[in-house]
Amino acid sequence: MDTTETFTADAPIDGGPEGPSRAALFDAATGYTRRRTFAIISHPDAGKTTLTEKLLLESGAIRLAGQVKERGERRRTRSDWMEIEQKRGISISSSVMTFEYDGLVLNLLDTPGHADFSEDTYRTLTAVDSAIMVIDAAKGIEAQTRKLFEVCRLRDIPIITFVNKIDREGRDPLEILDEIMSGLALDVAPITWPMGMGTDFRGLAAFQEGQPVTLTRNTRARETFDDVESFLTEPRLTGDPVFGPAMEAMDIARASLPSFDLESYRQGHMTPVIFGSATREIGVRELLDAVRSFAPPPLPQPAEPKPIEPAMNEVSGFVLKIQANMDPNHRDRVAFVRLTSGVFKRGMKLKNVRSGKELKIASPMFFFAREREVVDEAVAGDIVGIPNHGTLSVGDTLTEGSTFSVTGIPSFAPELIRRVRLPDAMKVKQMTRALNDLAEEGVTQVFRPMLGSSWLVGVVGALQLDVLVSRLEVEYGVTIMLESAAFDTARWVTCDDAAELERFVNSNKGDMAFDRAERPVFLARSAWDISYAQKNYPQIVFSTTREIG
């Protein structure tokens, strides 16, 4: 039985007659101000999947806990290559979930949890306006969290922190806050405080200066106190051996930490912290409320020649991800487009600025909870799925005719390079097409060496290679072998002086290749090779990233 409850076109937004109408959500001038587009970043196992599920549940987007995982598994069985994902117990593909909460449309972008897929994750983070960082209360800040946090910092993405698993014995809350402050150089402002942890957990106190304090034992048992002082001095509670020290710690935190400052959060300097437990649904509503109250609406999108304002009339957007063959029976290929301005309507024609081609968008999709639904309208901040047959690539900008281009969507220098060997020479054509498709999707980078005829593929993480081989086989019927190439890494090379660039390329033919956009790439055996080349050709710029587009 399918117990998912998705929103229909005329469902009320927040159940109340006072809530904004659905028309308001798509209003040309202000609809975008009701969007909150965010991602969850965390180390694997911190509880991101569980929390996602509970966010959907709490908002009413799904009725029964367990849907996210169940659906995930059902989806996986559809595609063989995803077996890799299953075997290793990780989530490779990132997706979008749209749901409504209290008059807002929340677009949650899922980031792949595995370090090997960082490139995809980085791109996802270029399409969000804020993030939730999930930390395991017992483990504190782990490697992948730190890495993802650094990406958020590059773009000053505001972060709300959820300290998960307080139903287990964890670290002292003050110690966790200290770790965030010193480890990530962020100011912290707790919004909830745990009264005891693990078996001693008595409840979660939600406090903000001048506001009533709620004490939540579980989703049903809530108690309200007029203010922080009356909560701290409540004799019934202070007499409890757990409450006393917990309140003392909370008092120390209140006295020593700055109060929450919206500006500071929006600039990426301060993180509001919510302690909670995803499995026990504690702190989840507080987290949704924090997203509603603090997270920024769509911001201007960096672009050339100038940033795109979300209030602009012209519809625009960019492709953050391509997902192909989710269903091998249909060979579907969906481009996930983040809208950056205007009110998008079904049937509209948009121009791909890169190719100059026009695209009629007949059946765009929205991703309500986990279901796909055809969308009639969408505004800046929304992520729309556009089915296409290879006309769109990651990084492409779509407009109604203007020629501006979104900037800042990175591609990273590969850290592993392999030579592709094709045992069945009859399949060259299929292989070339398949490699091209998968490169467009961002599964791999493809390089054509200046000398020699075999292709090179470059990836950031080893897992991408497994996915590549498996997808070529399952989806295109092409078996390839990957052989070690003499190279370990690559740098895009540019130079203001075209003659100097030509000189460099011609003197290093054996180490040169071209990427899909025919940009010259220097293949290096080691970091030493690069510094040696740099020393001999000081005018050449060796880049580890390049912008797609």
Binding of residue 281 to ligand G4P (CB under 6 A):
no
Stretch that binds ligand G4P, among 210-218, 274-282, 313-321, 390-398 (CB under 6 A): 274-282
In terms of Cα–Cα distance, which of 259, 217, 219, 260 is closest to 240? 217
Give one word for 319, left, alpha or beta, with left for phi > 0 and alpha for psi -120 to 50. beta
Question: d(Cα 25, Cα 13) in Å, to the nearest integer?
Answer: 9
Distance of CA 452 to the CA centre of its chain: 38
Stretch that binds ligand G4P, among 4-12, 44-52, 437-445, 520-528 (CB under 6 A): 44-52
Question: d(Cα 498, Cα 78) in Å, to the nearest integer?
Answer: 50
Binding of residue 46 to ligand G4P (CB under 6 A):
yes
Place of tokens 């509970």: 54
Supply the minimum distance, in Å, between the C-beta of residue 283 and ligand G4P: 9
In the complex with ligand G4P, the residue whose CB is nearer, 49 or 95, is 49
Q: 534: burial class by Cβ within 10 Å (0-12, 13-18, 19+)?
A: middle
CB 22 within 8 A of CB 388: no
Q: Residue 202 carries which side chain, given as an amino acid letter?
A: R
Residues 396-455 that bind ligand G4P (CB under 6 A): none
Binding of residue 54 to ligand G4P (CB under 6 A):
no
Binding of residue 79 to ligand G4P (CB under 6 A):
no
Binding of residue 47 to ligand G4P (CB under 6 A):
yes
Binding of residue 302 to ligand G4P (CB under 6 A):
no
Supply the minimum distance, in Å, between the C-beta of residue 200 and ligand G4P: 14
Q: Which one of 34, 36, 48, 471 is in contact with ligand G4P (CB under 6 A)?
A: 48
Binding of residue 50 to ligand G4P (CB under 6 A):
yes
Question: d(Cα 533, Cα 516) in Å, to the nearest integer?
Answer: 23
Stretch that binds ligand G4P, among 45-53, 294-302, 370-378, 433-441 (CB under 6 A): 45-53
Binding of residue 114 to ligand G4P (CB under 6 A):
no
Residue 63 has which token pair?
């009725």
| DSSP alpha helix (H) spans, 89-196 | 118-125, 143-154, 173-184
Stretch that binds ligand G4P, among 214-222, 226-234, 275-283, 541-549 (CB under 6 A): 275-283
Distance of CA 402 to the CA centre of its chain: 27
Place of tokens 């677009």: 107
Residues 115-174 that bind ligand G4P (CB under 6 A): 164-165, 167-168
Binding mask 24-43 for ligand G4P (x = CB under 6 A): ------------------x-
Binding of residue 512 to ligand G4P (CB under 6 A):
no
Q: Most distant CA pair in the chain: distance in Å?
A: 83
Binding-site size, ligand G4P (CB under 6 A): 17
In the complex with ligand G4P, the residue whose CB is nearer, 278 or 438, is 278
Place of tokens 């509209």: 348
Binding of residue 92 to ligand G4P (CB under 6 A):
no
Q: What is the DSSP string of 272-284?
A: EEEE-BTTTTBSH
Q: What is the DSSP string of 409-439?
A: -EEE--SEEEEEE-S-GGGHHHHHHHHHHHH
- Is the bond preceding residue 241 a cis peptide, omega within 30 degrees? no
In the complex with ligand G4P, the residue whose CB is nearer, 68 or 417, is 68
Stretch that binds ligand G4P, among 273-281, 309-317, 416-424, 494-502 (CB under 6 A): 273-281
Stretch that binds ligand G4P, among 231-239, 276-284, 379-387, 442-450 (CB under 6 A): 276-284
Binding of residue 71 to ligand G4P (CB under 6 A):
no
**Residues near ligand G4P, by CB under 6 A:** 42, 44-50, 113, 164-165, 167-168, 277-280
